[in-house]
Structure 1
Amino acid sequence: MKIFAVKVKPNSKQQSIEEQPDGSLAVHLKSPPVDGKANQELIGLLAKKFKVPKSAIAIKSGLSSRNKLVEVAIEPATHTNSQK
């Protein structure tokens, strides 16, 4: 499991995730912060980025804030067979 500090910027023109120098994430979302739409979009976007199901993403704090703590259940790599 990893916990990320996330700063959400709703109502953006494009979706994007930027990793900050301090390890936090700045996430631009198209959805407005109404009825949990931005939170749902955030979970979907992070699930794609980390290649995990949406159920592996949990907003631990900041549900109604732009600054959130998000927990991602990242599976440890099961294979160590990297060919580079």
Structure 2
Amino acid sequence: MRLAVRVTPRGGRDAVDGWSRDEAGRPVLKVRVSAAAAEGAANAAVVALLAKALGRPKSQVRIVRGDTARVKQVEIDGLDEAEAARAFGHPPAA
């Protein structure tokens, strides 16, 4: 499953802040990480945070698009909608 994730680096703590919508109205999962967006530290923190929230190994979570962007596409092996909803809540309805 792929998720759109909006990342706030240097957010003071590592946390999933829930769902919102981007400028085009698509659902995005908001996360914040304490790591800076330098040398891939924030991306590594995002992968670790999502893996921990889902109870999965980090090897099953990867950023497939947007390495240097605030909004990233994250692919999580074997994740279904029900499991995502349990971990992150339901995305906003259209």
* Category of TM-score, reference length = shorter chain: 0.7 to 0.9
CA contact (8 A) 1:52 1:74 kept: no
SS of the residue corresponding to residue 20 of structure 1 reads strand
SS of the residue corresponding to residue 4 of structure 1 reads strand
Task: Work out whether 1:4 is the aligned partner of 2:3.
Answer: yes
Hey, what's the Cα distance between the residues in 1 that align with 2:74 and 2:50?
9
* Counterpart for residue 27 of structure 1: 31
Shift of 1:13: 1.1
Structure 1 spans left out of the alignment, 5+ residues: 77-84
Hey, what's the Cα distance between the residues in 2 that align with 1:16 and 1:75?
19
Shift of 1:24: 2.3
Alignment CA distance shift 1:13-1:58 (3 Å): same
* Structure 1 counterpart of 2:31, one-letter code: V
Shift of 1:73: 0.9
Q: Which structure has greater helix proportion? A: 2
Hey, what's the Cα distance between the residues in 1 that align with 2:51 and 2:64?
15
Hey, what's the Cα distance between the residues in 2 that align with 1:74 and 1:61?
18
Hey, what's the Cα distance between the residues in 2 that align with 1:34 and 1:27?
17
Give 1 or 2 for the bigger CA radius of gyration.
1
CA contact (8 A) 2:20 2:30 kept: no
SS of the residue corresponding to residue 24 of structure 1 reads strand
* Matched positions, count: 75
Q: Deviations over 1:58-84 (max 9, x none)?
A: 1010001111000011367xxxxxxxx
* Counterpart for residue 53 of structure 2: 49
Hey, what's the Cα distance between the residues in 2 that align with 1:13 and 1:75?
28
